[in-house]
Amino acid sequence: MIDWLALAVALPLLGAVGAVMLPGRAPAIGLAGAVLTTSAALSVGLLVAQGTALRSDLGGWGAPLGIALAADGLSAALLVMANLVALCISVYALDYFGAGSRRHFWPLWLLLWAALNGLFLAADLFNLYVTLELLGISAAALGALTGRPEAVGANLRYLLVGLLGSMTYLLGVALLYAGLGTLDLKLAAAALTPGPLAWTVFALMVGGLLLKAALFPLHFWLPPAHAQAPAPVSAALSALVVKAAFYLVLRLWVDLFGAVTDGGAATLLGALGTGAVVWGSWRAFRAERLKLLAAYSTVAQVGYLFLFFPLLAEAPATQRQDLLGAVLLLALTHGFAKAGLFLSAGLLQKAAGHDRIADLGPSIQGLPAVALAIGLAGVALVGLPPSGTFIAKWVLLSSAIGSGQWWWAPAVVLGTLLASAYVFRVLANAFERGPRHGSLHDARGELAAAPVSIGRLAQAVPLLMTLIAVAVLGLEAEPLWDLLQARSP
């Protein structure tokens, strides 16, 4: 029997080593690693979809000394999303990087990928810490890849803030081990009882992770770091790395602290989420550059994810599954849509030489496939039907009103309005008069006439991703709910 869980972590690591040893062939090795890793992740997803959660003790060493990997519905769904998005980013990156940064990009990128898969599959709290740190280090290194002072400065800050967050998380882990004598998620959850220890551990671990998940007002490091990174890296940071920290908060909330949290902590998370939705959307609306707009939009979307916590805390068991499905759907949709938006922004930036929204008209009209991708990403970010976001927001709103917590609704409405405003601000450029590069309707002619040669494959990638966000996840969301049923082995 093949251990797909171990392969999903080992394959990208092997690829990273290969790309370091043969820098001349880094793109080929990287792409091969990407395809193999994604296949392993898809296999994990398919196995979990058959109804049983997976678990594997590496090298036959069980808890507490061994390293265990596990996948249930929640982690399998995020794993599959992350790997599909990462595969798309890899294909796009083939074209994007010049000969100089190529040899640095691929090893770091595969390392980040290994950390990401390890984080989704880790079954104990310390391995979560190690993967979290690996993720932070490789993400900051990738973000600073251009070497421009602004990028290096922003990502240095990202690195330091990430270290602060993970040190705080680690102290929580240490105290938990002091109190319970175990690091395994399942064993710890069974042993944890409400009391000062549980609350301290909860505050330290979740507090550290909120810093990494960039929940308002701890989001200050995100916009510059994400906006300054190269486009494929921005896509990975915004769509996947932030999502990993959110996954951890959700995982700890549901699996570890389920019995010891009360409504107060959930309400606090909801209130911070409200702030994130309003402030992030407003700053995205006011942003002058496309990548900064996309980064602030991530701040807002993280806010929506945290709005689910107060509802989860109050919901009866029957509704919990619905809410978990909805928050998962929102995270998956945002993953595809935001990565697609950043990759589109990268193409526009290449074509125009800048990403000032006000002056993007000619380039956006010269690249209709990119304009369509931005439009579709916008549909998903605003939450128009049939995108996955629409279903998620529908569940969010109906659950908020149904459970008498109507006060979460105005922020959702305001955030949605602001989102449509910032999306249309970008799209308005596509409909300005006097296109410079031929007619807007003749897509084929447009591609040929694009000023900087931008490969068709690179244009097709963001289009495909945003299509998945809008059509596939919106119309075929039901298997996700079935997948969540496979929670305990």
Partner 1 sequence: MPAGRTPVLITQLIYGLGGLVLFLIGIWSFLVHEPLLRKLIALNVMGAGVFHVLIAVAYRGLETIPDPVPHALVLTGIVVAVSATALALTLGLRLGHGDD
Among 62, 147, 410, 479, binds partner 1 (CB under 8 A): 147
Comparison of 150 and 359: residue with beta carbon closer to partner 1: 150
Cβ of residue 26: shortest distance to partner 1, in angstroms? Answer: 20
Site track 173-192 with partner 1 (rule: CB under 8 A), x = hit: xxx-xx----x---------
Cβ of residue 163: shortest distance to partner 1, in angstroms? Answer: 5
Cβ of residue 168: shortest distance to partner 1, in angstroms? Answer: 8
**Stretch binding partner 1 (CB under 8 A), from 129-137, 330-338, 354-362, 369-377:** 129-137
**Stretch binding partner 1 (CB under 8 A), from 14-22, 152-160, 336-344, 450-458:** 152-160
Comparison of 168 and 363: residue with beta carbon closer to partner 1: 168
**Stretch binding partner 1 (CB under 8 A), from 75-83, 138-146, 249-257, 401-409:** 138-146
322-361 residues in contact with partner 1 (CB under 8 A) are none
Q: Is 471 in the site for partner 1 (CB under 8 A)?
A: no
Q: Is 133 in the site for partner 1 (CB under 8 A)?
A: yes
Among 149, 258, 410, 479, binds partner 1 (CB under 8 A): 149
11-70 residues in contact with partner 1 (CB under 8 A) are 64-65
Cβ of residue 136: shortest distance to partner 1, in angstroms? Answer: 8
Among 31, 32, 156, 471, binds partner 1 (CB under 8 A): 156
Q: Is 159 in the site for partner 1 (CB under 8 A)?
A: yes
Q: What is the 3-state secondary structure (H, E, C) of the chain?
A: CCCHHHHHHHHHHHHHHHHHHCHHHHHHHHHHHHHHHHHHHHHHHHHHHCCCCEEEEHHHCCCCCCCEEEECHHHHHHHHHHHHHHHHHHHHHHHHCCHHHHHHHHHHHHHHHHHHHHHHHECEHHHHHHHHHHHHHHHHHHHCCCCCHHHHHHHHHHHHHHHHHHHHHHHHHHHHHHHHCCCEHHHHHHHCCCCHHHHHHHHHHHHHHHHHHCCCCCCCCHHHHHHHCCHHHHHHHHHHHHHHHHHHHHHHHHHHCCCCCCHHHHHHHHHHHHHHHHHHHHHHHHCCEHHHHHHHHHHHHHHHHHHHHHHHHHCCHHHHHHHHHHHHHHHHHHHHHHHHHHHHHHHHHHHHCCCEHHHCHHHHHHCHHHHHHHHHHHHHHHCCCCCHHHHHHHHHHHHHHHCCCHHHHHHHHHHHHHHHHHHHHHHHHHHCCCCCCCCCCCHHHHHHHCCCCCCHHHHHHHHHHHHHHHHHHHHCCHHHHHHHHCCCC
How many chain residues bind partner 1 (CB under 8 A)? 32
Cβ of residue 152: shortest distance to partner 1, in angstroms? Answer: 5
Interface with partner 1 (CB under 8 A): 64-65, 126, 129-130, 133-134, 136-137, 140-141, 144, 147, 149, 152-153, 155-156, 159-160, 163-164, 167-168, 170-171, 173-175, 177-178, 183
